[in-house]
């Protein structure tokens, strides 16, 4: 080999190493979150955040501002509480229809303390507005951590990163999580306690209504399980994004639990996949958005489906949401309700599943779309698919 060639080989080895180092440094920056990227002065999204053209959202800031005329079914909890038995049947039919056709609905007159909701949102916002040095104390890539500040969708496996930072709080049992919950801003813990207590009550009430709509007797035993059920509170922060047309705040996904109760601020961003297209959900002041998760799809033996949703970002306003994911206790097995197997010729459509299987799955796969649920499906005659 001539000297020239050796020199060339060495330079290209070195270049390759430098490139690798640079990639590593970039990934390291990304794990600090998207707010951090803005703080260090980026002015366009790095290439790792750019979706392939077919996955990019085709919406502009203008569309978001003017809103869509798409409206989710609204469930008035106060009305539901006060109805006579006959009228209640009709109201339950409406819930059943919302669950079947949309997999999403909004609840109003839910009984949550509205001042408390605002204070929770404000405390969460102040958490993200703190400097990185403060936020990073809760940064961990351990998906089993009780408290976790992180970024993107599934940091470990994402092939394209998304424009979201989050604080995840595993609220069951609350007393174990609290000492680990950020103590700055000072009021965060108190607000979390009030919010978690209230939203858990609301979840139980909505869950009972959904079981009634589904035609499953709300068995005491099941409701008791939900009382001790898993509860993950996710405070999502989507900073303004320099190229909202190239990336997403969250990719298309379904939620894993029975129900998700979502509080969003007044900035639009949530989109639901309905009848083969994406619809933007206009935030309805003081309402809570409810959606069906994979576990309820399994429990209902496919009568109610978890629905794909995603989050758009915009170039001017930070957006916040607080998602409350509820399911059975961590150690329980989720399976189709006995009453929903075999009636009207519908065999069992899903395998039993538990959290361990789910956590194993997400720590080794890019768990977007409904990929986990796909692994739990049986063929209609009850054999393994
Ligand atoms: C989620 C989610 C939607 C939103 O946290 O799972 O879908 O509007 N959030 O932030
Ligand atoms: Ni979600």
| Pocket probe mutation, ligand 1, options 262, 282, 284, max atoms within 8 Å of Cβ | 262
Residue 383 in any domain: the answer is no
C-alpha of 317 from chain center: 20
Residue 307 in any domain: the answer is yes
Q: What is the pLDDT of residue 384?
A: 40
Instruction: Enter the tokens of residue 337.
Output: 């309700």
Q: What is the pLDDT of residues 156-181, one digit of tens each?
A: 778 899 999 999 999 999 999 999 99
At 296, the pLDDT band (50, 70, 90 cuts) reads: very high
Residue 296, classed as helix, strand or coil, is helix
Using the predicted structure, report yes or no on whether residue 382 has a pLDDT greater than 50.
no
Q: What is the pLDDT of residues 199-212, one digit of tens each?
A: 999 999 999 999 99
The closest of 323, 119, 165 to 232, measured between CA atoms, is 323
Q: What is the pLDDT of residue 140?
A: 85
Structurally, how many domains does the chain consist of? 1
Residue 15 in any domain: the answer is no
Check: CB of residue 30 under 8 Å from CB of residue 48: yes
Average pLDDT, the chain: 89
Residue 359 in any domain: the answer is yes
Q: Ligand 1, closest atom to CA 309?
A: 7
Residue 214 in any domain: the answer is yes
Residue 135 in any domain: the answer is yes
Mean pLDDT of 27-43: 90
**Ligand located closest to 281 CA:** 1
Check: CB of residue 161 under 8 Å from CB of residue 152: yes
Find out whether the beta carbon of 167 lies less than 6 Å from any atom of ligand 1.
Answer: no
Q: What is the pLDDT of residue 16?
A: 87
Find out whether the beta carbon of 313 lies less than 6 Å from any atom of ligand 1.
Answer: no
* CATH code of residue 68: 2.60.120.330
Residue 326 in any domain: the answer is yes
Mean pLDDT of 318-336: 95
Residue nearest atom 10 of ligand 1, based on CA coordinates: 321
Q: What is the pLDDT of residues 259-271, one digit of tens each?
A: 999 999 999 999 9
Distance 253 CA to ligand 2 centre (A): 6
Distance 309 CA to ligand 2 centre (A): 6
Find out whether the beta carbon of 250 lies less than 6 Å from any atom of ligand 1.
Answer: yes
Q: Residue 177 belongs to what domain range?
A: 24-374
C-alpha of 225 from chain center: 22
Helix or strand run (H / E) with residue 277: strand 277-280
The model carries a pTM of 0.91
Residue 13 in any domain: the answer is no
Find out whether the beta carbon of 234 lies less than 6 Å from any atom of ligand 1.
Answer: yes
Find out whether the beta carbon of 124 lies less than 6 Å from any atom of ligand 1.
Answer: no
Q: What percent of the chain has pLDDT over 90?
A: 70
**Ligand located closest to 235 CA:** 1
Distance 122 CA to ligand 1 centre (A): 17
**Ligand located closest to 253 CA:** 2
């Amino acid at each position: 080999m001539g000297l020239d060639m050796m020199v060339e080989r060495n330079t290209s080895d070195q270049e390759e190493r430098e490139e690798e180092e640079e990639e590593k440094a970039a990934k390291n920056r990304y794990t600090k979150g998207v707010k951090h990227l803005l703080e260090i002065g980026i002015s366009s999204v790095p290439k790792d955040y750019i979706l392939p053209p077919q996955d990019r959202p085709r919406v502009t800031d203008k569309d978001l501002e003017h809103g869509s005329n798409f409206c989710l079914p609204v469930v008035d909890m106060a009305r539901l509480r006060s109805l006579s038995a006959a009228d209640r049947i009709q109201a339950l039919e409406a819930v059943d229809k919302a669950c079947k056709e949309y997999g999403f609905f909004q609840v109003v007159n839910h009984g949550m303390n509205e001042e408390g909701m605002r204070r929770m949102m404000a405390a969460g916002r102040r958490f993200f507005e703190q400097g990185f040095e403060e936020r990073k104390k809760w940064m961990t890539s351990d998906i089993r951590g009780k408290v976790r500040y992180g970024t993107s969708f599934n940091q470990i496996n994402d092939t394209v990163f998304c424009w979201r930072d989050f604080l995840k709080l595993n609220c069951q049992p609350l007393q174990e999580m609290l000492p680990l919950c950020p103590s700055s801003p000072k009021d965060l813990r108190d607000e979390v306690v009030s919010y978690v207590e209230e939203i858990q009550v609301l979840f139980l009430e909505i869950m009972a209504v959904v079981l009634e709509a589904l035609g499953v007797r709300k068995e005491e035993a099941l409701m008791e399980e939900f009382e001790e059920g898993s509860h993950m509170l996710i405070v999502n922060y989507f900073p303004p994004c320099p190229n909202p047309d190239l990336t997403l705040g969250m990719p298309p996904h379904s939620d894993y639990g029975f129900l998700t109760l979502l509080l969003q601020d007044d900035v639009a961003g949530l989109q639901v996949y309905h009848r083969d297209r994406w619809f933007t959900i206009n935030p309805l002041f003081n309402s809570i958005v409810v959606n069906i998760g994979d576990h309820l799809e399994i429990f209902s033996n496919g009568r109610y489906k978890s629905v794909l949703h995603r989050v758009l970002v915009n170039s001017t306003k930070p957006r916040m949401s607080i998602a409350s994911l509820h399911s059975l206790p961590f150690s329980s097995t989720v399976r189709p309700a006995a009453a929903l197997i075999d009636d009207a010729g519908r065999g069992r459509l899903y395998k039993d599943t538990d959290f361990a299987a789910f956590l194993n799955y997400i720590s080794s796969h890019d768990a977007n779309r409904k990929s986990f649920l796909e692994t739990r499906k049986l063929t209609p005659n009850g054999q393994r698919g």
